[in-house]
Amino acid sequence: MKKTILLSSFVAIAAMLLNTLPCNATVWRVNNNPNYIQGCSHCFSTLQAANDTSIVMAGDTVHLEASVIPYSATTIDKQITILGPGYFLNQNPGFQKNVYSASVLRIIFSTGSDSSLISGIYVGQSGNSSSIQINNANYIYIDRTQTRDDITFAAGSINTFIIVTKSFIGGRIITGGNNSSVYDINVSNSYIHENISLTSSSTSNYGTITQCVLNNFVNINNGFNFFNNIIVNSTNFSQNNNTTANIYTNLFVPTVPAFLTGGTNVNEPLLSTVFPSTGSQDSILNVNPIGICPQCYIAFPGNETFGMFGGADPYNLSGIPNIPSIYQLQSPLNIIQGAPINVNISTRSND
């Protein structure tokens, strides 16, 4: 919808959006451009500063704002919700007026960060293989997030109920060593570019992996339910102690591994039949129409769509978080100082 609003300052735009959020937690802003936070009592220049201060309480929300400069690596040790503007915004027009992402070099969830959530941000830097590390943390929600590299679990750590959903993982999801534990990890409606390896010789990791697109190696055990996924390179699927009891109703390209024959898994020989060849980096991971790929539409329970755009809670293009956004803004070129400004704003609810 469109609204014409009389403004004396663009700060009113931010206030309009913040007022739509729950009122039982304080909302804070982080922006590393000093011009945008000058005189603001609810603003910080770094994400680490927002985490470290005592005035940001457990349960508060931090809006990490778009910037051309990445935010420094951050260790989270309290329960906070971190929301960014999304990613691939220049490839998927119509979501945000400002097409810059909010980028963090690295995020570590440590002891005390239980029940924290990140959504709509980009995490990673060149030379650091771990974009996100989870170290003795529970109930961590990685939602609508793009990583340059891996999500890892620190060696020796014990982590429970980890959710990775509707995200674009540029590297791997892996345990950081044989003595790290991941109990009840749920990965859904996400793309994993490299591999997912969650086995351990000393612990019994378990969880669910569903409605994902996996581009490379899969190394899990029979503690995982694995269904409704698209596996692009089926030759790199480790058998371990897996059977058709826990690996079921997936679409393998080009063939179903021999140890899974006789079950409900299906195959499609050609990748070009499964996915379109043009589009943004995430839109081309939505399967072709049923007329081109009928196999793509027989996921569990029988009429569901395989992959990250299927299921009850499908992937959102560009990782747009569930908060309002401004996708169009028009204002006059000539402005009289001190006079009101007529600004035409087009907004999305992103429910």
> 308 in the Ramachandran plot: left (φ > 0), alpha (ψ -120 to 50) or beta?
alpha
Q: Is 43 among the domain residues?
A: no
**CA 146 – CA 169 distance, rounded (Å):** 6
Pairing of strands 122-123, 341-348: unpaired
Read off φ and ψ for residue 12, nearest 5 degrees.
-65, -30
CB atoms within 10 A of CB 188: 22
Q: Is 23 among the domain residues?
A: no
Using DSSP, state whether 64 is helix, strand or coil. Answer: strand
Tokens of 130: 């771990």
Mean pLDDT of the region 121-128? 88
pLDDT in tens, 280-304: 999 999 999 999 999 999 999 999 9
Mean pLDDT of the region 167-190? 89
**CA 215 – CA 197 distance, rounded (Å):** 13
Among the residue ranges 70-84, 229-243, 287-301, the one predicted with the least confidence is: 229-243
Q: Is 39 among the domain residues?
A: no
**CA 338 – CA 40 distance, rounded (Å):** 20
CB atoms within 10 A of CB 129: 12
Tokens of 115: 């029940």
Read off φ and ψ for residue 130, nearest 5 degrees.
-105, 110
Pairing of strands 107-109, 130-134: parallel
Domains contained in the chain, number? 1
Q: Is 282 among the domain residues?
A: yes
For tokens 């011009």, the residue is 35
Cβ–Cβ under 8 Å, residues 305 and 294: no
- Residue 330 has what pLDDT? 81
**CA 137 – CA 40 distance, rounded (Å):** 32
**What are the distances in angstroms from CA 290 to CA 76, 218, 294, 315?**
44, 27, 5, 19
Q: Is 49 among the domain residues?
A: no
Residue 170 belongs to what domain range? 82-323
Average pLDDT score over the chain: 89
**Which of 127-136, 143-152, 200-209 has the largest mean confidence?**
143-152
Q: Is 115 among the domain residues?
A: yes
DSSP E strands in 124-222: the ranges are: 130-134, 138-143, 146-147, 150-153, 158-165, 168-169, 173-175, 181-188, 191-192, 196-197, 206-210, 213-214, 218-219
**CA 224 – CA 185 distance, rounded (Å):** 9
Tell me the pTM: 0.89
**Confidence bin at 203 (pLDDT 50/70/90):** low
Q: Is 54 among the domain residues?
A: no
Answer whether residue 23 shows pLDDT above 60: no
- Residue 16 has what pLDDT? 39
Q: Is 337 among the domain residues?
A: no
CB atoms within 10 A of CB 49: 14
Answer whether residue 76 shows pLDDT above 60: yes
